[in-house]
Amino acid sequence: NGLTTALPAALDRGEFFIEYQPLVHLGDGSVRGAEALVRWLHPQHGVLGPDRFIPLAEHTGLIVPLGRWVLEQSVRQARSWQERNSDAGPLRVNVNLSPCQLTHPGLVQDTVDILEREGLDAQALCLEVTESALIGADDDLLKPLRRLAEMGVDIALDDFGTGYSNLANLRRLPVSILKLDRSFTQGMQQFPADPVDLKIVEGIVSLAHSLDLAVTVEGVETGAQAEQLRILGCDTAQGWYYARPGPPERLHELALVDA
């Protein structure tokens, strides 16, 4: 595969870049931070989304240096948002982790080093791990996440609700945020929403809050969805209704409008 062989040089040549999609507080509509989403500006194929190359990077092991680069850029960006935006409250950044990064022994030390070098508080960083990556996770896998959580880094369970995990298992995971999968938000498209979808989301939110977990919803495309999800008690939202993923400067503008 041509993309696979081009990947390592692409990292050296600086062909990757990051877009940021805002995370919005459902209670007051303020921008609280953003999720970092990596893209590849390929010299022949143009902009490629993560679905096109993350699986290849995972397969070849390039995900470890690529993931470290994404983390470093995102942490630097969050630091720069904070410097320029001190009145609006600290903007936070969410970074996705692949399962192979979780098992890589350097994860905790790399994260500590990057936060320290860039001068960002651990509290301003959230690492997103998919529910499926943690299904059946043993203590060896959870240990680095526990250490990061103890340092103050938030761990979010991404794509929650798609992985058929044992809900009782949640107690054992060092997770502080559930990111409800986009498929639940799709059930809120009409107003009033599908009553069964409402019950499911209501149940998840109540379980999450009883375990002291915050709930973030993905894929919010309309004001009606946002309103339903706010009424259901979801805490934070992300989606095209607020903003598509975009350049980092735009987040700063969006946050300032609310400040």
Contacting positions for Mn ion (CB under 5 A): 96, 128, 158
Kindly give the interhelix angle for 63-84 and 2-13, rounded to the nearest 10 degrees: 40
Residue 167 C-beta: closest distance to ligand G, Å: 20
Site mask for ligand G (CB under 6 A), range 184-213, x = bound: ------------------------------
User: Does 145 participate in binding ligand G (rule CB under 6 A)?
Assistant: no
Residue 167 identity (one-letter amino acid): L
How far is it, in rounded angstroms, from Cα 61 to Cα 248?
27
Nearer to ligand G, 84 or 247 (CB): 247
User: Does 219 participate in binding ligand G (rule CB under 6 A)?
Assistant: yes
User: Does 131 participate in binding Na ion (rule CB under 5 A)?
Assistant: no
By CB atoms closer than 10 A (0-12, 13-18, 19+), residue 48 is middle
User: Does 174 participate in binding ligand G (rule CB under 6 A)?
Assistant: no
Nearer to Na ion, 92 or 252 (CB): 92
User: Does 158 participate in binding ligand G (rule CB under 6 A)?
Assistant: yes
Q: DSSP characters for 38-106?
A: EEEEETTTEEE-HHHHHHHHHHHTTHHHHHHHHHHHHHHHHHHHHHH-GGG---EEEEE--HHHHHSTT
How far is it, in rounded angstroms, from Cα 92 to Cα 146?
20
Beta bridge pairs of residue 37 = 19
Residue 200 C-beta: closest distance to Mn ion, Å: 21
Strands 16-25 and 31-42: antiparallel
Handedness of CA 217, 221, 224, 227 (dihedral sign): positive
User: Does 158 participate in binding Na ion (rule CB under 5 A)?
Assistant: yes
Nearer to ligand G, 52 or 147 (CB): 52
Residue 18 C-beta: closest distance to Mn ion, Å: 13
User: Does 159 participate in binding Na ion (rule CB under 5 A)?
Assistant: yes
How far is it, in rounded angstroms, from Cα 234 to Cα 250?
25
By CB atoms closer than 10 A (0-12, 13-18, 19+), residue 258 is middle
User: Does 49 participate in binding ligand G (rule CB under 6 A)?
Assistant: yes
Residues of span 230-259 touching ligand G by CB under 6 A: 239-240, 245
- Among 221, 224, 246, 258, contact with ligand G (rule: CB under 6 A): 221
Residue 2 C-beta: closest distance to Na ion, Å: 28
As a 3-state breakdown, the chain gives helix, strand, coil percent values, each rounded to 5, of 50, 20, 30
Nearer to Na ion, 154 or 158 (CB): 158
User: Does 51 participate in binding ligand G (rule CB under 6 A)?
Assistant: yes
Residues engaged in binding ligand G (CB under 6 A): 21, 37-38, 49-51, 54, 67, 70, 96, 98, 158, 182, 218-221, 239-240, 245
